[in-house]
Structure 1
Amino acid sequence: MQLPRFSGIPTFMRVPFSSNLDALDIVLAGVPFDGGVTARPGARFGPREIRNMSTMTRTTHHVTRFNPFEACRIGDIGDVPFTDLYHLERAHDDIRRFFEPVFAAGKIALSAGGDHSITYPIFQALAPKEPIALVHIDAHTDTWDSFKGSKFTHGAPFRRAVEAGLLDPKRTIQIGIRGAQNSDEGWRYSIESGMRVVFIEEFDERGAAAIAEEARRVVGDAPVYLSLDVDGLDPVFTPGTGTPEIGGLSTRETLALLRGLDGLNWIGGDVVEVSPPYDPSGNTALVAATLMYEMLCLFAKRAGHGTPGAHSTSL
């Protein structure tokens, strides 16, 4: 971070590129894949542009004065190397194989997508002994069953994760849900399976602090994953996404929500659905990079203070 921000090979937040997992506590990774979208593609370009905009990141949080780069060993391990981009389930296998050694080594992974279908193979790579908890910020529940012959689109990852015994629906909270649908199937599945669904109207009425407390109540002390779809924010802040829904969270509300989740038993997270072709300004990627930094601060507090082996996923 001592180089001028316009120089050097761009990595997430200008951390070192490293393939040595033993030298890291937290890994940053890109998943440049949008083969699971049901409408507008472009999220395959998300990791590259988020890396580019993350060069604006500095070290120390202005509220907490916390410096995650001093607390932990953090590195960018690059992008998932795909061998079969044109078959959705085989591409998901590539994602799973990429992350398996990361979680087997007890590391926290913070990933940039890519469409939201990538979260399911990341859960598969986690291979938890017991179903994990989830904080999910999104306009959509992503618990629909199938679309045009596939059960693995970006509208289905959390339904597949529940079915596979990877995700505990009763320890799952979905925040910011809104927008008309052709069917209530996803909303109904989430609610009937036991997920806590916070529609945007409830968020507006209760506020970020109260919803953060609700999230803490739902997930408890279970190992928890944080998945943030940028369409959870209002498209005035994140226009560069494939399925925008107006009336969403503001950047300030999202920051307040994330900061209210401090101290949970974090095991990983992702920021997904950044589609740079729909936002030539780069603002969506800047928002995503900033939210990744906020998530990194949460994870780094959990991971320890630079002590090798300090973090354990307890999976």
Structure 2
Amino acid sequence: MALEDAKSQVDTAFTCPERRGLSYENVFGGAASFLRRSYSKDLTGVDLAVTGVPFDQAVTNRTGTRLGPRAIREASLLQPCDPPYGWGYDPLSELDVVDYGDLAFDYAKTADFPATLRAHIGGILDAGAGSLVLGGDHSITLPILQAHAERFGPLRVIQFDAHSDLWQDDDFDRIDHGTFMYKAVRQGLVDAAHSVQVGIRTVVEDCQGFQVIDAPEVHRTGPEATARRIKEIVGEGPCYLTFDIDALDPAFAPGTGTPVWGGLASWQAAAILRGLAGITLTGGDVVEVSPPFDTTGATAIAAAHVAMDILCLYGWTRRRAG
């Protein structure tokens, strides 16, 4: 495909015969799959499956993140015409990536949701693909970590966030986006000594063994030094990356449920993510995009770029190993 093909391309999420390659379909038209990848439930030979989890029943403030996956997909349509800037390779041409669609669940049976999501991600991993999840509130990361830990063992986690989500909650039947990481540590899913939280700017009494690079430290030392420190902490073991969009300052990502001032600038986040090339990523997610509070679409655009960079990180190590 080439740029001149734009005049004949439409609905390539359903009509494109190839999984690989750039897309030149008009940004403003057609079916809005993530990065114009093909919608597919067939994971045979797939490297990475992108899936949406439209769940926001565990938030503590503003709702709306159930609409996040749809908004991130639409915002991603700005990107598939060109290789991602600064990476030096084109993951859309080198990897088989599909849009696996959204998780199906009964919204009226909230207690059943975690097991449903865990099985959904487990199915993707069992098929030999990695998972890239579009949220949804941050509580969804706990069942995702459970599915990953079943296959990879305790994970080294890189968490970009304004909040640690480590507030103590020993009622493991509760579903709460502010306590899920505490439960992940308590359940043995996370190798906290080799895990790090980046962009933090709220108080928690016990970091549960996590290393913390708070937002003021990122501002003071810069993104390159931050990326180097993250890589030193996580080392070479299997790693999961979760990116709460409120890690960004509200000036760059206003459309989220619990915004906190003093956060990362979008250029800082981009530089840090690119500086992480080489980590052994098993999967990742971007969460907490709330379109009702995202009047310009800037938050969804930022989230789509984060998701693209997670895709790039996932492919980076594999293209060199292959």
- Check whether TM > 0.5: yes
Instruction: Give the match for residue 251 of structure 1.
Output: 266
TM-fit CA distance, 1:304: 3.2
Q: Using the alignment, how far apart are the partners of 2:173 and 2:248 within structure 1?
A: 27
Q: Using the alignment, how far apart are the partners of 2:151 and 2:172 within structure 1?
A: 28
Instruction: Give the match for residue 131 of structure 1.
Output: 154
**Counterpart contact for 2:139–2:175, Cα < 8 Å:** yes
What secondary structure, in the 3-state scheme, does the structure 2 residue paired with 1:38 have?
coil
Does structure 1 residue 229 correspond to structure 2 residue 244? yes
TM-fit CA distance, 1:61: 2.3
Instruction: Give the match for residue 38 of structure 2.
Output: 16
Instruction: Give the match for residue 62 of structure 2.
Output: 40
Q: What is the correspondence of 1:190-269 to structure 2 with a 5 Å cutoff? A: 190=207, 193-269=208-284
Pairs aligned (count): 298
Instruction: Give the match for residue 81 of structure 1.
Output: 104
State the one-letter code of the partner of 1:288.
A
Give per-residue Cα distances to partners, 1:214-264, cap 9 Å, x unaligned: 110111001001100010000000000000001100000000110110010
From 102, 112, 126, the equivalent of 1:104 is: 126
Instruction: Give the match for residue 152 of structure 1.
Output: 175
Ranked by relative contact order (alpha carbons within 8 Å, sequence separation 6 or more), the top structure is 1
What secondary structure, in the 3-state scheme, does the structure 2 residue paired with 1:177 have?
coil
Structure 1: 5+ residue runs without aligned partners?
Answer: 311-315
**Counterpart contact for 1:25–1:72, Cα < 8 Å:** yes
Does structure 1 residue 28 correspond to structure 2 residue 50? yes
TM-fit CA distance, 1:7: 2.3
Does structure 1 residue 276 correspond to structure 2 residue 291? yes
TM-fit CA distance, 1:62: 2.5
Q: 1:148 to 1:242 in 2, by over 3 A?
A: farther
Instruction: Give the match for residue 291 of structure 1.
Output: 306
Q: Using the alignment, how far apart are the partners of 1:282 and 1:214 within structure 2?
A: 32
Q: Using the alignment, how far apart are the partners of 1:162 and 1:146 within structure 2?
A: 12
Instruction: Give the match for residue 68 of structure 1.
Output: 91
Give per-residue Cα distances to partners, 1:173-227, cap 9 Å, x unaligned: 0011004xxxx5xx2321xx32101121222221111111111011100100110
TM-fit CA distance, 1:123: 1.0
From 116, 120, 141, the equivalent of 1:119 is: 141
TM-fit CA distance, 1:282: 1.1
Does structure 1 residue 51 correspond to structure 2 residue 51? no
> Higher mean Cα deviation, 294-303 or 226-235?
294-303
Give the TM-score normalised by the residue count of structure 2.
0.88
Give the TM-score normalised by the residue count of structure 1.
0.90
Instruction: Give the match for residue 168 of structure 1.
Output: 191
Q: Using the alignment, how far apart are the partners of 1:148 and 1:281 within structure 2?
A: 39
Give per-residue Cα distances to partners, 1:285-304, cap 9 Å, x unaligned: 01111111111111122333
Give per-residue Cα distances to partners, 1:77-115, cap 9 Å, x unaligned: 0000012x2344311112111111111223211111000
Structure 2: 5+ residue runs without aligned partners?
Answer: 1-22
Q: Using the alignment, how far apart are the partners of 2:205 and 2:126 within structure 1?
A: 35
Q: 1:87 to 1:220 in 2, by over 3 A?
A: same
**Counterpart contact for 2:48–2:97, Cα < 8 Å:** yes
- Superposed CA RMSD: 1.9
TM-fit CA distance, 1:119: 0.3
TM-fit CA distance, 1:151: 3.6
TM-fit CA distance, 1:33: 0.3
Give per-residue Cα distances to partners, 1:55-77, cap 9 Å, x unaligned: 11133123233100111100000
- Among all aligned residue pairs of Structure 1 and Structure 2, give the percentage whose two residues are the same amino acid: 37
What secondary structure, in the 3-state scheme, does the structure 2 residue paired with 1:189 have?
coil
Q: Using the alignment, how far apart are the partners of 1:291 and 1:129 within structure 2?
A: 24
Q: Using the alignment, how far apart are the partners of 1:35 and 1:302 within structure 2?
A: 35
**Counterpart contact for 1:145–1:156, Cα < 8 Å:** yes
Q: Using the alignment, how far apart are the partners of 1:151 and 1:213 within structure 2?
A: 36
What secondary structure, in the 3-state scheme, does the structure 1 residue paired with 2:60 have?
coil
**Counterpart contact for 2:172–2:183, Cα < 8 Å:** no
Q: 1:104 to 1:189 in 2, by over 3 A?
A: farther
